[in-house]
Structures are given as structure tokens and as C-alpha cells.
Amino acid sequence: MSNVQLPRRPRRRRYWPWFLIACAVCASALLAGTLGTYQWQYQDRIYPGVSVAGQVAGDLTRAQLAALLVARRDVVLQHGLWLDVGGELVNLPLEVTSSDPDLARVPVSYDINSAVVAAYRIGRGGTLWSQLIDPLRLRWLGWDVAVPYTIDAPVLEEILSSVLAERETPPLPARLSVNGSGALELLAERNGVLFDHAEAFASVKRRLASMDTSPIPLRMSTVLPPIASVETVDAFQRAQNLLHTSTPTFVYEEHHWSVDRPTFLTWLEFQRVEEAGSRSRGPVRLGFNTDAVTAFLVPIAKEIDVPPQDAKWRLENDRVVEFQVSRDGISIDLPGTMRRLQEAYLTGVSSEIPIAVQVAPAKIGTADANGMGISELLGVGRSNAAGSPKNRWHNIRIGVNTLNGILIAPDEEFSLLKALGSVDGEHGYLQELVIKGDRTVPEFGGGLCQIGTTVFRAALHSGLPITQRQNHSFRIRYYNPPGMDATIYDPAPDFRFRNDTGRYILFLAEVADTELVFSFYGASDGRKIEVPDRAIILNSIASGPIRYIETDDLKPGEKKLVEKPAPGGNTVFTYRVTYPDGQVNEQEFKSYYRPWPETWLIGKTPSSTDETVPPVSP
């Protein structure tokens, strides 16, 4: 049987995989082309679906978005926020103005440029696939960018508290009172009606974050008094018994200060004893009011207190020599004296109360100062206060005298606010008028920013690292050129730098004609310092139309100029220090100044509801 080969069936070629691949390639090309066209279409604009603080940003150029956000920011800062207090709309101002520019400030600052840059970058980062898909995803899902902002919390809280306090009734505890015949009486407690200040401040911050000017609803709640009458029976009886005893006498060395009975009776108050580890309220006892006792002791302290005196130096013939020896100080220990009064007098041990004192040793002793190695000038800072009014010059000179001769220890972070100490009338400072909303109030501190700016410049030219610095809210002529100033205000902002020279630094401060000259002396380690003569002005913003603020402090229609116009804008400069080992410390200082319009106070014109109707003659 022969082998017969059957003809083979021709093999069918499979074309469908290639067809699918071709379709996929065409679809991808079509998609890539479509998305590429989409990206090209928006190459200079922000993708649709993006918003900034609720502001629609899609289809806008960066310049257009920045203009819209600047307009919103200016509305917020110029007109403030509105508080809804039981249906009454109350304005919360966000600008503090003053006849002294050092005291004028804006407690809120927005970084518009960063928000615009962030909005533009959305959909343009990550992998190639995400750059293709994200722009389309934004159309359906959207993306809101927050505007970075900073607030000067103490100032803003102060403004908010002053607005709320006018509409609150604080609770009053059961308390002692002295009647006309000199006898003690018990006054009953009273409930209070207060706002939740923490919640109100949080609401204000949320509105500021979104630049939202819609009214903020606030609620008030009843607050029980801290001490009720029924809890004071025993303490009141003890107070009655003291009417038949001798009053306290404070003693220090051979000196005696007796307290007369009318004054003594005003010191007595009810106090709650807090028991450690107990959740229940402690009992009520008889005690002394700290503020009242302190007011009595303050004049005594002036007789007893001796401030510590550090060893200081001055320069003669290019050499640093000692001009003040060190001396330990003595001061009244107020808490310790209060404890002695409470423990000795109220327990009947003695009516003579020894005044407690504490020793405040000098930070720098005379012997220590001689070996500090201060040998050469590190740097000088200058500013010109020409044209300053009398009160401003007075405050500047007090600040200069306070700082002159200070020694800054190695590795110490120098705090200007700490070095200046208390800025009040007791230390010789004068007040200036500050406008908060439609109220004009006196405030200390005018002129001290001249000192802050001069110290900033001295630290720069000495090659010291700056650890805390904030520019003024607006441009001030005393600190030209703009961008190289530093503002201070107790308790914040502060100006700080660190002494990283490894040796002590001597701070010499003086006023030469109208110029402040601050010199830092120490021992140079050979570092090289690069400080520009002036900051770069990135842009300038016109000051805007004249602003009028109504006030009750002037006669109706009377006007008073409180601020001259100043343009706003942004500045920047780079500060570079190269150390002997080759390390480089580079700091960039950016400043934003709000445009400040010419500002006038104008006396309120009485409304029809304010006018009184003269009596009709019979």
C-alpha cells in the first residue's frame, strides 16, 4: 500500500491582534494629541477646575488671578470682618493706625504670589501620565488652593477682645465691701453673659483663611460666678474678727511701713482653695487681693530695690576699656511677701510682716569682663530719625540708653524685647494715640521700631545669623531704603539674632545728631559678609484714595491728619556670610508693604437718633 499524501489546507493568517494593536496605538495617539492640544491651549493659563480660596481660577492667567486675589485681600483688610452678635452686625477692624507709624500695623498678611504659583502648577507635575490625565480630572473633581497667610495673634486677639468686651457682662463673685461707716458688708454674686473668645477667634481665623467677609455668627452663654454667697460664711466671719485686731506693718531692716485700716479693708477678698488631685471645688477662704497689696508695696520697692549692674565697656582711642563695675541687685520678692502676709497675719502669728527680698546677681562680673577678648569693631548699623516728633525722640533716647553697654554672651540668642524690658510710663516712656476701629486710645512704644531697624542693620553688618525678623506693615520714611527694616511690638513680633562668634559682643548705642549709630564690638573670626546697600524693589503699589475714619474724639466735622500716604510693594535682598571653614550661611529677607492711604480722623456727625430735643419753654 503506497503512502498517499493529502494536500494541506492553507494556514489562515491571524490579523486581529495586529488590528487591536493598531487601534490602541491610534487611540493613544488621538488621546495624546487631544491632551497635548489641551495642554498647549492652557500653557499660559490655569487649568479649569482650579480655585484659590473659593475664587475660580480656571482659564485665568497668573496675572489675572493675582489681581483678583489682591482685590479680595484689600477688601478684607481695609473693611475688616463682620460679627453677627444676636442680629447686630459689629465691625472687627483689621488695621491699627496711629499718628506714630511705629505703632501702626496690620495683623494679617497674605502670600498671594505663592498661592498663584501653586494654582498654576496643579496638573503640571508628576509623571507624564498624570500630566495627561490630571487636567481632565480637575474638570470634574476640582481643586481648591489655600492662600498662605500669617497673623499677629496677640494683636488680633486684643482687637477682638476689645470689640466683644463692650457687649459682655462679666460674672461677679460674692465679695466684701466697706460701707460708709467703715463696716464690712457682703455683696451677693451675679451671673455673667460672655462670648466664647477662643471659639470666636477660631471663627475669625477660618474667615481670614478663606478671605470670606460674610458675617460670623457668635453666641453668648451664661457663666456662673466663681464664688457664691453661701460658701463665704466662715470667711466673712473671719473678716469681721479682723476689725478688732491691729493692721499689718511691713518691716525691712530698720524701716517700717504701717497700713491704715481703710486701706487694709480694701485688701480683703474671698479666695477659693484649689486642692491638688481633687476634681471637686475647694473651700472658700479669706485672703488678700494681690493687685491691691502690690500697689501698696510698689512705692516701698522703689526705696528697697537696687537693680543689678553688669560690667560695661566703652571705646577710647580704638581700645575697649571698662567704664562700669558690676554690682548685684536686690528686689522685693512680691510672691514671697504675699505668702508671709497670708501665713503670719491671718493665722494670728504676728502683725509685723518681714518683706521678702531676692538677690539678682549681675550677669557679667567685673573680673569676668576683663578676659572677654573684646578687641575690634564687628559692624555698625545706622538709621536716621530726622523729623521725628518730640515724644518719639524721647522714647528713642530712653531705648538707646537702655541698650548702650550691653554684653551679649557667646551662643546667646539676643532678644531685643527682652533687652529693652518694660515699655511703660514707669520706665519713662511716653504714649502716642493709636486708632483701633473708630476708637482712639493711648499706647506706649512709639519710636522703638527705629531701634529695631538699627539693631537689624548692625547685626547684618556684623555677620550674625538672624533668627527672628518681621518688616513693618507699610513703608515708613524713617527706614528708607525700604526692605531693610525690622518692627518690634511687645509681646510680638520680636527681633532676634544669635551670637555665633564664640566670644562676647559689646553693644554700644548712641545718637549722633539725628542718626542712630549702633556698634558691635567683639573678636572677629575672619568671616566675610555680603550685605547689599538696598533691597530690590520688585513692584510698587499706589497708596490709593484718601481715607476718613469717624471718631467721637473730635468735634462733629473737625478733621485731623494722622497718616501721610505711602506706596506699597514687595522687596527682597539676600544676606550671605562665608565662614573661615568655607561654610556659607545665606538668608533671604522678603518684605511686603501694604499701600497706606492718606488717613484723616473726622468727628462724627450726630444722627437724628443721637440729637436731643430741647425742652419747650412754658
What b/e string do you get for 26-64 counting C-beta neighbours within 10 Å, with b at 16 or more? eeeeeeeeebeeeeeebeebbbbbbbbbebbbbebebee
Q: Which residues have C-beta within 8 Å of that of residue 525, sequence separation ≥ 6? A: 501, 502, 579, 580
pLDDT at 533 (0 to 100):
92
Q: Which residue has the cell 461677679?
A: 172
> Mean of the pLDDT values across residues 603-614?
54
**What's residue 613's pLDDT?**
37
Residue 79 · residue 213 · CB < 8 Å: yes
DSSP string, 125-157: SS-HHHHHHHHHHHHHH-EEEPPPEEE-HHHHH
pLDDT more than 70, % of the chain: 84
Residue bearing the bigger pLDDT, 346 or 419 = 419
Q: Which of residues 364 and 544 earns the better pLDDT score?
A: 544
Average pLDDT on 528-552 reads 88
Report the sign of the C-alpha dihedral through residues 459, 463, 465, 466, in that order: positive
What value does the mean pLDDT take over residues 90-112?
83
Burial of 189 (C-beta count, 10 Å sphere; 0-12/13-18/19+): buried
Whether 182 and 262 have beta carbons less than 8 Å apart is answered as yes
Q: Give pLDDT, residue 36.
A: 61
- Mean pLDDT over the full length of the chain: 85
Is the pLDDT at 63 greater than 90? The verdict is: yes
Round to whole Å and give the CA distance between 529 and 585: 10
The per-residue pLDDT for 610 is: 43
Q: In the predicted model, what is the mean pLDDT of residues 52-65?
A: 92
pLDDT level of residue 124 (50, 70, 90 thresholds): confident
- The rounded distance, in Å, linking the Cα atoms of 279 and 63 is 59
Phi, psi of 350 (to 5 degrees): -165, 150
Model pLDDT for residues 486-515, shown as the tens digit of each residue: 999 888 889 999 999 999 898 999 999 999
Counting beta carbons within 10 angstroms of the beta carbon of residue 539, is it exposed (0 to 12), middle (13 to 18) or buried (19 or more)?
exposed
Hey, which bits of 126-283 come out as E strands? 143-145, 149-151, 175-178, 184-187, 192-195, 216-218, 220-223, 249-252, 255-258, 268-272
Please compute the mean of the pLDDT values over residues 602-606 and round it to a whole number. 79
- C-alpha cell belonging to residue 81: 470682618
Least confident of 18-27, 239-248, 271-280, 359-368: 18-27
Residue 6 in this model has a pLDDT that exceeds 60: no
User: What is the C-alpha separation between 203 and 207, in angstroms, rounded?
Assistant: 6
- Do the domain assignments include residue 239? no
Mean local confidence (pLDDT), 382-394: 91
Range with the poorest average pLDDT among 12-16, 103-107, 175-179, 597-601: 12-16
Q: Is there a contact between 590 and 571 (Cβ–Cβ < 8 Å)? A: yes
Residue 341 is classified by DSSP as: I
Residue 400 lies in a domain: yes
Q: Which long-range contacts (CB under 8 A, 24 or more apart) does 31-40 make?
A: 31/132, 32/132, 35/132, 35/135, 35/136, 38/135, 38/136, 39/131, 39/135
* Domain count within the chain: 1
pLDDT at 97 (0 to 100): 76
Rounded mean pLDDT of 69-80? 90
Using H for helix, E for strand and C for coil, what is the string for 512-569?
A: ECCEEEEEEEECCCCCEEECCCCCEEEEEECCCCCEEEEEEEEEECCEEEEECCECEE
**Helix or strand or coil: residue 570?**
strand
Mean pLDDT score, 522-548: 91
Flag the least confident range among 38-47, 342-351, 403-412, 452-461: 38-47
- Would you state the pLDDT for residue 440? 58
The sign of the dihedral angle between the CA atoms of 547, 550, 555, 560 is negative
Distance CA 5, CA 126 (A): 64
CA dist 104 and 240 (Å) reads 51
Q: How far, in Å, CA of 107 to CA of 567, rounded?
A: 18
Question: Region 443-466: what's the mean pLDDT?
Answer: 94
DSSP 361: -
- Per-residue pLDDT tens digits for 137-182: 888 888 899 999 988 888 889 889 888 988 899 999 999 998 888 8
- Please give the pLDDT value at position 322: 52
Cα→Cα distances 129→32, 35, 36, 134, 386, Å: 10, 11, 12, 8, 62
At residue 526, does pLDDT exceed 80? yes
454, 512 contact by CB (below 8 A): no
**What is the predicted pLDDT for the residue at 30?**
60
* The predicted structure's pLDDT at residue 587: 96
Q: What range does the domain containing 512 cover?
A: 375-535+574-590
Q: Which residue has the cell 455683696?
A: 187
Task: Give the pLDDT score at 327.
Answer: 77
Residue 199 DSSP label = H
Flag whether 338 is in a domain.
no
Please check whether residue 208 lies inside any domain of the structure.
no
- Residues 343 and 60: their CA atoms lie apart, in Å, by 73
Question: Looking at residue 344, what DSSP letter applies?
Answer: I
The model's pLDDT over 323-344, given as tens digits with 9 standing for 90+, comes to 566 778 899 999 999 999 988 8
Q: Stretch 518-534: mean pLDDT, rounded?
A: 93
Residues 6+ apart with CB under 8 A from 153: 107, 492
Identity (one letter) of the amino acid at 353?
I
DSSP labels for 432-471?
EEEEETTEEEEEE-TTHHHHHHHHHHHHHHTTPPEEE---
- Measured CA to CA in angstroms, residue 559 lies from 101, 549, 556, 600, 603 at distances of 19, 9, 9, 6, 7
Task: With cut-offs at 50, 70 and 90, classify the pLDDT of residue 136.
Answer: confident
Say which residue, 194 or 566, is predicted with more confidence: 194
pLDDT for residue 20? 65
Q: List 351's β-bridge partners, or say none.
A: none
Residue 265 lies inside a defined structural domain of this protein: no
Span of 228-232, 417-421, 425-429 with lowest mean pLDDT: 425-429
User: Is position 254 within any domain?
Assistant: no
Residue 121 placed within a domain: no
Query: What is the residue type of 66?
Result: A
Q: What are the backbone angles phi and psi of residue 247, rounded to the nearest 5°? A: -80, 160
CA-to-CA separations, 255 to 79, 245, 340, 341, in angstroms, rounded: 58, 22, 17, 17
Round to whole Å and give the CA distance between 93 and 300: 42
In a domain, 441, yes or no: yes
| Per-residue pLDDT at 612 | 38
Q: How far is CA 340 from CA 134, 215, 250, 294, in A?
A: 72, 52, 10, 14
- The most confident of 220-229, 361-370, 561-570, by mean pLDDT: 220-229
Q: At what angle do helices 390-403 and 448-461 cross, to 10 degrees?
A: 40
Locate the DSSP E strands across 231-324: 249-252, 255-258, 268-272, 284-288, 312-316, 319-324
